[in-house]
Amino acid sequence: MQANKIFDNRAVVGNSVTIPAGVLGESETYLWFTTSINSFAYTYSQKRTFTTLPACEGDADGDRDRDFADISNVLTNFGMMYQPAPPGVFPGDANGNGAVDFADVTAVLTSFGLACP
């Protein structure tokens, strides 16, 4: 069993939280607890569930579409090496294998214009 990942208020910007790449699995359901203290010193908690999105092969920039920006992202980052992660987590890695190479160009072109799942 994986240890719980806890994020403090430094990860919160406005109404959103950025969770680092690789912390959450794709297509997984998570339970999210928040505790807040309002201006009257009243503490309240909320419990929510959310499900992460599946990987989107061909999406090299992580914006959940496959377009000219993805081709540009692959070409700009061509030759970079990363840890394998879902497509779009690392710039230019459109297939998630950790290398920005011709396979990423192919992944973008074969899925160009298609909606992500």
Q: For the whole model, what pTM was predicted?
A: 0.63
Burial label for 109, CB within 10 Å (0-12, 13-18, 19+), is middle
Whose tokens are 């074969």? That residue is 110
Q: Which residue ranges does the chain devote to CATH 1.10.1330?
A: 55-117
pLDDT digits (tens, 9 = 90+) for 95-114: 989 999 999 999 999 999 99
**Res 78: pLDDT:** 96
pLDDT digits (tens, 9 = 90+) for 20-46: 656 777 777 877 777 777 777 777 777
Examine the pLDDT at 11 and tell me if it is beyond 70.
no
CA distance 8 to 27: 24
DSSP string across 47-114 = EEEEEPPPP-TT-SSSSSS-SHHHHHHHHHTTT-B----STTSSTT-SSSSSB-SHHHHHHHHHHTTP
CATH of 55-117 among 1.10.3450, 3.30.1490, 3.40.720, 1.10.1330: 1.10.1330
